[in-house]
Structures are given as C-alpha cells and as structure tokens.
A and B are shown apart, each in its own frame.
Chain A
Amino acid sequence: NAGVTQTPKFQVLKTGQSMTLQCAQDMNHEYMSWYRQDPGMGLRLIHYSVGAGITDQGEVPNGYNVSRSTTEDFPLRLLSAAPSQTSVYFCASSYAAMDTQYFGPGTRLTVL
C-alpha cells in the first residue's frame, strides 16, 4: 500500500515550458486535490475532484489544468510555466473533503 505518490520530486522549468505533475493513490479514495505551498501563505487549493470525471476549481486555478479519468490518478498540468508558479506542490486524497486527507511527499518546482 503506497498511499499517495507524486512524481517528480524536483523539477526545473524555463518560462513558457509545459509539464505535468503526476499524482496517484491506491486507497480507492474518491476525493483528490492539488495544493501549492508558498512561504507565509500556507496551502492554497488549486483544483480538486470528487470522483472520476468530476473536477472543480479551487482558490488559485489560473495557469493549471486537471483531469480525472480514473479514480487512482489526478495529474496537474502547467500549460505555460511562469516564475510565479515556483512552489511546492502537494497532492492529497481522502474519502470525502471532510475526511482525513492523505498527502503525497510533494514536488518542488522552480520556474526560471
């Protein structure tokens, strides 16, 4: 039982490049979410999904896309990276939003 896994752990991009952050969970959780963590700002919700085929925007969705084709996977796409997207990104999953969320180890992204 691996829990929530994220790849890659580290990534450096140039402005304008695109990439996908991967997130997978093996706990059969319906609810998955993406957060970014910036110093002094806590965790801010980017996008979330309450089940396969259903996604919605969080607090800071601009510049990011998501899709949920399976229960297990919830990738986060950066369409055209900007320096303001330099951050640590966490994926989390739970049975529902009000349940305990299980976090992945994070991806540290730097955009030059």
Chain B
Amino acid sequence: AQSVTQLGSHVSVSEGALVLLRCNYSSSVPPYLFWYVQYPNQGLQLLLKYTTGATLVKGINGFEAEFKKSETSFHLTKPSAHMSDAAEYFCAVTGYRGTASKLTFGTGTRLQVTL
C-alpha cells in the first residue's frame, strides 16, 4: 500500500522568491515518485520523476526535487518563482513491483505567485 501527503493546499510566494512544495510518502516497496503540474482547465503534465539512482532530480521549468529515504520525502523546489509557475502541483507515488500498477496522488498544492 502507498500514500502521499502534501502539506499545504495553498502556497503563496512573491515573484523571484524560493518555491518549496512539500511531499511525504509511504510505500511498502521502494517507490517511484513523481511531480505533475496542472495549469487551469488543462490535464496534468510531468514535471519530474525519481526512479532509482541520483536522489536529486531535475525537471522542466527550473524545478527540482530531492528524494530523501530517511525522511520519506520528495519536496519540490525552484530557486526563483515566475508568474507562469502559478498552477496546481501534485505529488504521486507508485511501487516498482507488487503495487506497481497503481499511481497514487496527493491532494495537490495550489501555488500562487504575486508581484
């Protein structure tokens, strides 16, 4: 079984400020972890994913995330927010065996970027 917890349903940052979106997971098998982004009235698209290997993962649009097994976390960061980053962000987890047929999403964090 697996689950995802995203802390903070809404996060507001100023343009140019650090973006930090938090994600904690639980999984009975080694996880594959994902961050997806959803712009208004659109489907989801992949930002980045962790499978195995390097724990710091770089994605599109300057985002990155670090897999920390000891903390069961996969937080998403971006050094400098841009207005175009305003969207909803979803963390998701699946296992690579056993429960690998199901992708479990968190409840999402809406990012607001202000001038």
Residues on A lying within 8 angstroms of B by beta carbon are 4, 31, 33, 35, 40-45, 48, 50, 56, 58-59, 90, 92, 96-98, 100-101, 103-106
In the assembled complex, B44 has its CB within 8 A of some CB on chain A: yes
B45 close to A97 (CB less than 8 A) = no
Contacts of B52-87 to chain A: CB distance below 8 A: none
Per-position 1/0 for B91-102, Cβ under 8 A of A: 000111000111
How many Å lie between the Cα of A35 and that of B96 in the bound state?
20
Q: Does B25 contact A (CB under 8 A)?
A: no
Cα(A41)–Cα(B105), bound, Å: 9
- A105 contact from B42, B90, B106, B108, Cβ within 8 A: B42
CB distance from A4 to the nearest CB of B (A): 8
Known: A40-B9, A98-B100, A100-B49. A106 touches B105 (CB 8 A): no
A98 touches B9 (CB 8 A): no
Chain A nearest CB, measured from B28 CB (Å) = 15
B96 contacts across to A, CB distance below 8 A? 98
Residue on B nearest A50 in the bound complex, by CB: B101
Chain A residues with Cβ below 8 Å from B42 are 105-106
Contact A41 B44 (CB under 8 A): no
